[in-house]
Each structure stands twice: as structure tokens, then as C-alpha cells.
Amino acid sequence: MHLIITQTRLQLQTIWGGLKMKIMNRTTKQRTAIQGALLEAARPLLPQEILVSAQRQVPNLNLATVYRNLNLLTDEKAITPVHLPGQPTRFELAGHHHHHFQCRQCDRVFDVHACTAEISKLAPKGFEVIDHDVILYGRCPDCSSRSS
């Protein structure tokens, strides 16, 4: 009797273990696909853009799952939300200090990896600059070449 109970428990543990692995694998796959989409784009993406790109790895992915993963990854500081005035939130892989360029034609946002200490000198006398944010607006190379 005791043996049977032990066996059943073992079987249950195995089934549960397998189930947990399956859930883990699915979660890992989703996260990897989302982070892969951001890595490949190398620019901040809208959740909808992340979905389209990540679906190449995980075809049954949906927008709700993308949002849930984006929130988790943001909490873990693996990714950073990018807030541009009047724009829906985009996301990018967490990285060092940089700025953004938004194309007025296609609305895409690109990274700008240049900065200058001169920016702090723009503040009026007596004002201490603690942080800054710079957004450049214009036309991206794709849009420039298309319209010329």
C-alpha cells in the first residue's frame, strides 16, 4: 500500500515537473522572441511592431502576451520604456545614456548615440542641470531616399 502511494506521488511529481517545464519553455521562448525582436531592430519598437517581429519565432503569440512580457521585462530592468511626447510607449533593450531621432515621415524612432557636455551649458545662469533628454526630428535615410 505504502509502495503504491509512493509510486503515485512520484508519477504525479513527474507529470507536474513535465508540465512546469512546458510552461517554462513557452515563457522562455516568448521572452527570447521579444528580446530578439528588440535586439534585431536596434531601435525602440511599439508593442505591435514587437508582436509582428516576434511572431516569426512564436507564431501563436498575441498582443496581450507581448504586453505582459514587456511589463515583466521592464520590472526586471532588462528593457526600458521610451516615452516621446504625444507618442505611445515604445520599448528598447536597457542600455547606456543615449538620445532619439523620430522620423516625421514614417514615425519610426531611432537611437542617437551622440551626446555633448555642452548641453548642460544651455541652462540659464544659476540653474544646475541634473539630467537631460534630447529628441531630434527629421527624415530617416529610408524616407529621404524614397522622396528624392
Residues 6 or more apart from 69 whose CB is under 8 A from it?
30, 31, 34
We find the least distance from the C-beta atom of residue 121 to Zn ion, in angstroms, to be: 13
Nearest to 67 by CA among 46, 53, 38, 94: 46
Binding range to Zn ion, per CB under 5 A, among 32-40, 46-54, 122-130, 134-142: 134-142
Binding range to Zn ion, per CB under 5 A, among 1-9, 14-22, 59-67, 108-116: 108-116
We find the least distance from the C-beta atom of residue 59 to Zn ion, in angstroms, to be: 28
We find the least distance from the C-beta atom of residue 90 to Zn ion, in angstroms, to be: 8
Name which of residues 39 to 98 contact Zn ion (CB under 5 A).
92
By the rule CB under 5 A, 115 interacts with Zn ion: yes
Residues 6 or more apart from 91 whose CB is under 8 A from it?
38, 44, 45, 47, 50, 70, 73, 74, 79, 80, 81, 82
- 136 and 112 in contact (C-beta within 8 Å)? yes
Residues of this chain that bind Zn ion (CB under 5 A)? 92, 103, 105-106, 111, 115, 140, 143
